[in-house]
Amino acid sequence: MDDILNKIFSRSVAFLHDLLVIPLAWLAAYWLHFNLGEIPDDMLSVVLRDLALVIPIQATVFWVFGLYRGVWRFASLPDLVRISKAVVVGLLLSVATAFLFFRLEGVPRSVPLLYGIMLTGFLTMPRFVYRWAKDHRYRFRTARRVLIVGAGQAGEMLARDLLRTRNQAYQPVVFVDDDRQKWGKEIQGVRVAGGCELMPKVADELGIDLVMLALPSAQPAEIRRIVELAESCGLPFRTVPHMDDLMTGHVGIDELRKVHIEDLLGREPVSLNWPKIRSGLTGKVILVTGAGGSIGSELCQQIASMEPAALVLYENSEFNLYSVELDLRERFPNLSLHAHLGDITDKVASERVFDKYCPQVVFHAAAYKHVPMLENQTREAVRNNVLGTQVVANAADKCGCSELVLISTDKAVNPANVMGATKRVAEIYCQNLNAKSKTRFITVRFGNVLGSAGSVVPLFRKQIKMGGPVTVTHPEMERYFMTVREACQLIMQAGVLGEGGEIFVLDMGNPVKINYLAEQMILLSGKLPGKDIRIEYTGLRPGEKLYEELFHERERLMATEHEQILQAQYREMGWDLLLKKFKELRAASDEYNVERLGEILNWFVPERKRPQEQELKMGEVVPMIKKE
């Protein structure tokens, strides 16, 4: 009720203002006609006679043209156009009416034109002055002075929102942008000083308190350069959300956030065939194993947006299953969702889920992946990653699934650890089963996923929060990185791209040194590496390699329709021999014969590398292991 009353009051005040400026403009027109002198007494009666017609006509036109639908607080160019049209129409009607009644007797020819000009000015000036006053109220007293990087559409929207915000917490002072055509221009009254390289100089000269990055579609390499410049200023910085989030409407341009390590180490987006992905997933029953994990949960989110006929979650962690199911039901209330608690190594339970839902597409994301932990847990690694994959693959074959996508890792290439070796054996089984089955078995292999459970990023965040030290195993250690969103997009693309038996790998660009990642995370936290937070090198852990590889030398590479997605052909193995070895694996697992399990893994993966075994003391760095 109060809002309605306030709105009525505001419109009434605006209408009263416009009503009063009509006679003011009419009198001012005569005043200008007589060269700013007095209006002769014999003309006053003509002025008042015509004014009695002009006021009701002009006021009616104002209301018809909707001058009071706009809000003075946000007066803009459309309001100016609307006012101009109303003045012209009102003027023409007034002149025509005066001509009909009085033949315009005694009215100088210049008066109507001068009246139109004066009335337009009297109507627009107060509106724009009011908006300017509101935009700048208290700003120079309390606001933090902001430098905006990026003078494009996102930068303009950000500056406008900051100027309009009620709490007036930020004052846009200057833009920097690498586009030379924008240099020297003003956007929302804020000048574009020059290129991004000027950031430290401009920040110092203008007393900047905060840097805001308005680059929602910028690539990671560009973000890294901008962040380094911002860091050299010694100022905090924030960024607008990604373009994907802005386009979906999940966030607004003014919802600033801290720059994340994913922004710096992510890759240029892969040009995916979204129509083909949708055609491969929409309207189908899809099952995801490991649905509560980092990859599995993100994969479920993206699949749900493709409107499948049903989405089946299969997960052995009660809490993870509860969390992902709750999230999906909130975000996709119309989704046919089925959550099942179960272990992929449980053949009876797994086959029951497959028989009940008859999934057409299976994404097999369930796996143990913690490298150092699995070095001393060979039986559990084999049982879950190898024998569990066999159970799922056989169930998919038995119920006639269209395709199964196995989610693998770059650690399966020339593995130096139990985890990588088990994933390689899982690849071998699925690739060879492909030749015996109507189901298409496809492998997707990628590097480290930023921020996934058990990865180095959450560990570093925790160590930084505790004040350090941040522990890095070796100064030369490097890894390939990708975001969880990109990993899941690659997985979905592979599901519709492959014909069966292939290994798809994303061209992951250049690997990143782990100590660089640590340094950047420390800087992003507002601290200095080596000064505020120490980086400590602890030496390679069991099963770790300095470098990871994406392909084995015997895997023949081929291009795909996507230049950033590569394909490798699998290495065939006799099916009877393969089944025999898997029986031996299961028997050794049942007997808890770890030594025999290791022997069979080495038989499957003869290229398995053995890192130097030595005692490592805290703070020591082991010598670099040369590649064979």
The confidence score (pLDDT) of residue 3 equals 45
What is d(CA 129, CA 498) in angstroms, rounded to the nearest whole number? 63
Q: What percent of the chain has pLDDT over 90?
A: 27
Prediction pTM value: 0.62
The confidence score (pLDDT) of residue 623 equals 31
The β-bridge partners of 364 are: 289, 406
What is d(CA 389, CA 423) in angstroms, rounded to the nearest whole number? 9
- Higher-scoring residue by pLDDT: 358, 75: 358
Band of pLDDT at residue 454, cut at 50, 70 and 90: low
Asked if 363 and 286 touch (Cβ cutoff 8 Å), the reply is yes
Report whether pLDDT(411) > 60: yes
- Higher-scoring residue by pLDDT: 135, 232: 232
Which range, 115-124, 291-300, 495-504, is most confident?
A: 291-300
Cβ neighbours of residue 599 under 8 Å, at least 6 residues apart? none
Average pLDDT score over the chain:
79
Report whether pLDDT(509) > 70: no
The confidence score (pLDDT) of residue 395 equals 97
Which range, 138-152, 379-393, 551-565, 569-583, is most confident?
A: 379-393
Q: What is the pLDDT of residues 122-132, one digit of tens each?
A: 888 877 776 66
Q: In this predicted structure, which of 105-114, 296-305, 550-559 has the lowest mean pLDDT?
A: 550-559
Domains of the chain by residue range: 2-136, 140-259, 281-448+483-507+549-604
Q: What is the pLDDT of residues 590-625, one digit of tens each?
A: 999 999 999 999 999 887 655 443 333 323 333 322
Q: What is the pLDDT of residues 366-396, one digit of tens each?
A: 999 888 889 999 999 999 999 999 999 999 9
The domain 281-448+483-507+549-604 belongs to what CATH superfamily? NAD(P)-binding Rossmann-like Domain (3.40.50.720)
- Higher-scoring residue by pLDDT: 169, 257: 169
Task: Provide the CATH topology of domain 140-259.
Answer: Rossmann fold (3.40.50)
Q: What is the pLDDT of residues 207-228, one digit of tens each?
A: 888 888 887 777 777 777 887 7
> What's the order of all strands across the beta sheet hosting 210-213?
186-187, 190-194, 170-176, 144-149, 210-213, 237-239
Band of pLDDT at residue 257, cut at 50, 70 and 90: low
140-259 shares its CATH topology with 281-448+483-507+549-604:
yes
What is d(CA 62, CA 84) in angstroms, rounded to the nearest whole number? 10
Report whether pLDDT(343) > 80: yes
Cβ neighbours of residue 533 under 8 Å, at least 6 residues apart? 464, 467, 468, 469, 470, 522, 525, 527
Report whether pLDDT(15) > 90: no
Cβ neighbours of residue 169 under 8 Å, at least 6 residues apart? 142, 143, 144
Report whether pLDDT(243) > 50: no
